[in-house]
Each structure stands twice: as structure tokens, then as C-alpha cells.
Chain A
């Protein structure tokens, strides 16, 4: 009996020593080495691909943000600022509720299924809003022209991109609100559209922050 207790203790001791040694290797040396190389070779990327304009950080080119008007009295959700290109909906994005000393953004999806009533309503509302917001006197948006990414939330809630179709849909509105020529804004969208990587990986997309930064430069 004593012998088997002793054997078990010896074995657990060996397990603990193995774990500690491997923790030093995989949990300390490995991340430090990778961080060193990353900070040396790709400092911008390793620190979050921040985008600066006139010396001020305006966000990360990888992280989506909202372009809304300030919240008015009595409003729960702010209205979109239609001067700027709008991102995808982000109904799954949350706020930190555990560690309330920070206002961390909590990434996430809605996790609603295709037959979920909430999701059906969100899609309907979003579609109606896209049609209404983007129709200008000389340009009518039809419901069937609205691409799926314009009315659905992404997986992270932080999708920095929209599809080129959704960007083109917004061109007339953005041109009107900023007193620009439609052609100028169309060119802006074209310049900021990324094709598939090597022609086949992923989907064509437009980075909303980069597009709005370029728009701001045009507007002055």
C-alpha cells in the first residue's frame, strides 16, 4: 500500500516537473522568441495594423468601426452618419460585463439560426434601411440589389470589409451628401477594392476605414 502511494507520488512528481519544464519552453521562451522576431520584422502588423491620418491614429485597418451620428436624447441606438460609407451590421458585438473597469469591445456573432424570428426581423429592417438610405433623387435602390453582407452581421462583429457591391450601392448617397461627383466616388471605391489574393483566395472586398479616410481627404 505504502509502496503504491509512494509510486503514485513519484509519478505525479515527474509529471509536475515535466509540465513545469515544458511550460518554460512553450509558455515563456516560445512566445517571447516569436514576439521578438515579430516586433523586429513586422512591428506595424504585430501591434495591430494601426492606421494614422495627420499623425493621429484613426483605428486599425483590420478592425471595423461604426460611423454614426452622436446619440440624441431619447435614442437607444445612434443613427448612421450617411456622409460616410457604412459597414455591415454588427448585432453580435457585445460589451464587457465581467471586468467593468474597462470598456473592452467583445467580439462575437449573433448565433441566430436561419429560421430565427429575431434574425428574420433584423434582415428585413436592415434591408429596408439600406434601400431607404441609399436611394437618392436620381438613383433608386431596389431590394433585390442589396447584397447579403449589407444586411447580415459578421462572425466577429468587427468585419472591416464590405463587398464591392455594397460599396457601389452607397456611392450615389455618399456623393450627394458630400457634394461630390458620382464618378469621383466611384473611382475612390475602385481604388480601395481588393481582389481575391492570387486571384482565387477569399472574396473581393472594400476596407471601409481606408475608403472613408480616402473620402475625407477628397472632401478636405
Chain B
């Protein structure tokens, strides 16, 4: 069997596996967020928080909950790193410097998991397992909560109530992320991922001497890292490290974990708004972009244009033998079309066009299928824009799912899609214009520019992967990337929740002959086109200077 065919079959296997999980998981999540019953452990948690899960919140209260919880999380994670040096179970690692601790705290709370540190030489058991991995759970649960609040905005009328933030946070964690992570972690250990609390130990070698390793709760962190579309690796090499991703099977399984919740949430959405067909239309949009991007990535990576790759006879630089070009291409697209940012191969050493595809994937806003929760609300915002554009064409007030998209709604949606491009382009321009940030580049020319463009694209879209040649552990990058991650995560959430409140307060508009059929393939086509045009117009000039210039030169 050829490597290309094997790559295509792996993609097909993923489609089948995701298809099998779609209905049961999507329906289960819809039940979870609609249920009025509480598990015993949830009741204990609510008592500890001092919150009544039955209290309905309007958008300001919901938003205050999101922001308060996240602010406390940033502070807690920052302090935990700052005192690491005196904590037990830290393997003798010292405390993290203030700028890097801020960057890392912002990164994990914002579901980004950008890492300017090397996992195996900086973070001990306590910070990794008790700090970073906890944010892998709760930052994902916050994203899902905000998505569900927006879905309730569509589903409810004449109220303005969006549910209870604490209940959504706790249920997302306890009923969805935890059980799936337990299963995922055990599967990964069965493949060979490590799971222990060993300290730093010597392992003998074949020709004598020894290697030094730190043990760790790797499999348990790996599972939620993928499932929560977080992406922060236990080790520097992330999911390319054999202890994180030991076999071709674990590789495909990790890609499955990355994609399963974001795709299934479209079913949850369809169920909650009372029309699963609406969910299918969103699903079709996401799937079309995902499969298209994966096809393009395989094509360019197998063709391997570029001087060094031509010389080597294949684009295997930065890729592991066990995954090959196929398994690496599928992973790279899945991780950048979601907000994951885990890598099983190093994007900086992809072909010029391949690197461009990873960047474009993030610049779409990570909506195909996107991060846990953030993918769904990002895609629904694009759907509102698409409906609005269709409305302009025929000259009538647009509506979506029985809600009018008036000037207030469209202003909020437009603000949402302006935030990340503004952050990415302004910070990139500043870094290029200032004298010192450029010193962090490993490569020169278009690829050097790509390293910086990639860094801010990854940060503002909460991805976290890198063209890792960039030495990002400087005060400039730690600070500006930290800010880009926080603003890129929480400003859009503000607009989403305000929008959700506005939608929930509306009275439903009856469907007429003039209503755009948003569950039909025509709408899916319109939505794909809208996404491509909005992103293309925004980022084309910047992409032309980096990956396009590199790709065309080779």
C-alpha cells in the first residue's frame, strides 16, 4: 500500500469514528446542559461554591461569572508557578520568572496553551498536574458554557435568561470532560503513554551510560489536552514525543479526541434549537473545510517542494517515522482548525504551502470544527454574517433560527470577527517594526516573518502551536503574546454573551416564504464562501509576505 493511500484511509477511518460518536455524544451533551437534575458530587460542588444552580442568569451575570472564574484562575496559576521552587513534588525545578509565569497562566486559562517554556526542564508534578492540567479541563468547560449560552439565546424567547454559569461549568467538567478523559487516558496508557509519579531517574542505555528522564502523569494530561482542544505538551516535543503519542494508533486516537466534541456540539446545538437539520448544516460546513484542508495539506506535504526536502527526497524533517507524512498532515490540520495547538510534527519544517495551511486554518477563526465550545460560537457568528449578507442581496431584514438579525445583532457579530485580526496584525506589525523582537527568529526571509505572524495568529486565536524556531521566551513576546491570548479569548466571549442576551429577549419571527432556508446545502455553500472571503480579505496581504512567498519560491 502506498503512503498516500494509507493517509487517505486514516482520514476515512476518522470520518467513520467521528460519525459513530456524533449522535450519542451530541445528544448526551444536549441532555447534560438541559437537565434539571444534579448528581450528588455536583451538589457538593455547588455547596462549596455557594451557588444555586437553578438560578437563571441574564448576560451580565453570566459574563461576570465567566470573567471572575477566569481572573481567579490566572492569578492562582501565576502564583503556583511563582512559588514552585518551594513546593514539594517539583522535582527540584525553580520558580518561574514573572513574565513567563504570566504568559503561561494567561495561556492555559485562555485555552491556548502557548508554551514559552520547555516542559521537561521547567515544570514539576504539582504545577503540571495540579495547575496546568486543571485549566485544561475548566478552560474547555468555560468555552462550552459560553457556546451553550449562545445556543440558549437562539432557543429561548422573550426572556433574556441564558442559564446558570456555575451549573454549566460544573456539568461540562463532571459529566462530559472527566469521564471521556478517563477513558482516553487509559487507552493512551494501553498504547504506551507513561503515567507515573516517578522523579527524575536514570535509564540504562544499550552501549552503556544512561539517559535521564522525568516521569509524570502524562497520559491523564494528554487525554484532556486533546479532548479540551488545549494542546500544551507535557514534554517540549508535545505529541511528537513517544511518551505522549507512542504509536500510529494513539496518533489517530488523539486526533479523534481533538475533533469529537467540537463536531458533536453541532448536534447538541441542533437538538437544543429544536431542529437537528440546522445542526447538520453547520456540521457540513465544518466538515467540508476540514476535509478540504486535510486534502490540500497531504497534497503539498507528499509533493514536498522546497530545497532541503527535494534533496532529502521527502518532507520528513520534524516528522516521526511511525506517523509518516500522512499521519502528520492529518494531525497538523486537526490541531490548527481547532484551538488545540498540540503538534505531532513541527509546522516550521512543513513545506511553504503546508505552513501556510496551518496558519490559514487558525485565521479562519478556528471554527472548522474549532475549539470545544469556541468553535461552535465562532461558527454561529459566521452564520449570522452569512445570513446578513444574503439579506442584503435580496433586500429584506435577515433572520436566523427565528430571530431577527437587526443592527444591534450584526454590530456585535462584526465586532467579534474584528478582534482577532486586529490583535494579530497590529502585534505582528509592531514586532516587525521594533528593533529587538526580530532577533528571536531562527530562519530568515519570508519564513522568519512567518514565525512571528504564526506566533500572534496562534495566540490571538487561542491555538498555541508555533513555528517553534521563534525564541518566544523574551519579555516582549511573553508579555504581548500573553495579552493577545487574554484579549483574543475574553473579548469575543463578551460579544457572544451580549448577543445571546439580545437574541433570548426577542420574540420569535414566524417563518415565511422569504426566510432563508438555513438547513439546506445552499446555505452551507454560502457559509463556506463567507468564511473564506472574510478571512481571505483580512489576511491575504500578510500571508503573501510569508508562506505564499516561501511556497512560490520553491
Contacts and interface: CB of A to CB of B under 8 A. Distances in A.
Interface residues of A, number: 104
A5 interface: no
Interface string B64-101: 11001111110010000000000000001110000000
Interface stretch (B246-254, B360-368, B383-391, B491-499): B246-254
5 contacts: A12-B72, A15-B68, A15-B70, A155-B328, A202-B322
Contact of B211 (A59, A101, A123): A59
Of B9, B69, B71, B355, most A-chain CB atoms within 10 Å:
B69
Given A48-B243, A196-B6, A154 B319 contact: yes
A33 B182 contact: yes
B443 A152 contact: no
B295 interface: no
B69 A201 contact: no
Contact of A49 (B73, B170, B192): B192
Contacts of B320: 154-156, 159, 161
Contacts of B189: 34, 37-38, 41-42, 45-46
B275 interface: no
A149 interface: yes
A202 B247 contact: yes
Contact of B237 (A30, A103, A158, A201): A158
Contacts of B50: 13-14, 17
A110 B203 contact: no
Interface string B190-212: 11111111101001111100011
Interface stretch (B24-32, B116-124, B265-273): B116-124
Interface stretch (A111-119, A168-176, A179-187): A111-119
Interface string A101-142: 111111111111111100110011001000000000000000
Nearest to A101: B92
Of A38, A49, A106, most B-chain CB atoms within 10 Å:
A38
A218 interface: no
A30 B220 contact: yes
Nearest to B7: A200
B52 to A, nearest CB: 11
Given A14-B68, A35-B196, A200-B13, 11 more contacts: A8-B68, A12-B68, A18-B48, A23-B134, A34-B182, A65-B205, A111-B467, A113-B306, A119-B349, A151-B312, A201-B252
B248 to A, nearest CB: 2
Contacts of B181: 30
B468 interface: yes
A17 to B, nearest CB: 5
Given A31-B217, A155-B345, A17 B49 contact: yes
B51 A96 contact: no
B118 A18 contact: no
Given A19-B138, A57-B203, A115-B445, A28 B349 contact: no
A197 B247 contact: yes
Interface stretch (B125-133, B413-421, B529-537): B125-133
B550 A39 contact: no
A11 B64 contact: yes
A70 to B, nearest CB: 9
B196 to A, nearest CB: 5
A35 B195 contact: yes
B326 to A, nearest CB: 8
Interface in B207-258: 207, 211-215, 217, 219-221, 224, 235-237, 240-243, 246-249, 251-252
B309 to A, nearest CB: 5
A153 B129 contact: no
A220 interface: no
B309 A114 contact: yes
Given A18-B49, A109-B240, A115-B554, A203 B6 contact: yes
A209 interface: yes
Nearest to A97: B121
Contacts of B328: 155
Nearest to A119: B308
Nearest to B444: A116
Contact of B311 (A127, A156, A160): A127
Nearest to B221: A31
A22 B309 CA distance: 47
A31 B181 CA distance: 10
Nearest to A10: B50
A99 interface: yes
What does DSSP make chain B's interface, helix, strand, loop or mixed? helix
B468 A111 contact: yes
A162 interface: yes
Interface string B21-60: 0000000000000000000010011001111000000000
A154 B306 CA distance: 17
Interface in B334-390: 343-346, 348-349, 351-352, 355
Closest 9 CB pairs of A and B: A202-B248, A114-B306, A155-B240, A148-B314, A203-B324, A107-B237, A111-B469, A156-B237, A62-B242
Contacts of A60: 203, 242
A203 B248 contact: yes
B523 interface: no
B249 A212 contact: no
Contacts of A23: 130, 134
B323 interface: yes
Interface in B384-425: none
A57 B204 contact: yes
A38 B192 CA distance: 10
Nearest to A158: B242
B321 interface: yes
A33 B183 CA distance: 11
A203 B312 contact: no
Contacts of A68: 207
Nearest to B252: A201
B20 interface: no
Nearest to A206: B321
B443 A116 contact: yes
B213 A48 contact: yes
Contact of B200 (A18, A57, A102, A107): A102
Given A155-B240, A209-B206, A19 B211 contact: no
B346 A155 contact: yes
A26 B447 contact: no
A45 B85 CA distance: 30
Nearest to B186: A37
Given A25-B173, A154-B320, A202-B324, A16 B72 contact: yes
B242 A156 contact: yes
A40 to B, nearest CB: 10
A18 B92 CA distance: 30
A12 B246 CA distance: 41
A111 B441 CA distance: 11
B311 A120 contact: yes
Contacts of B553: 115
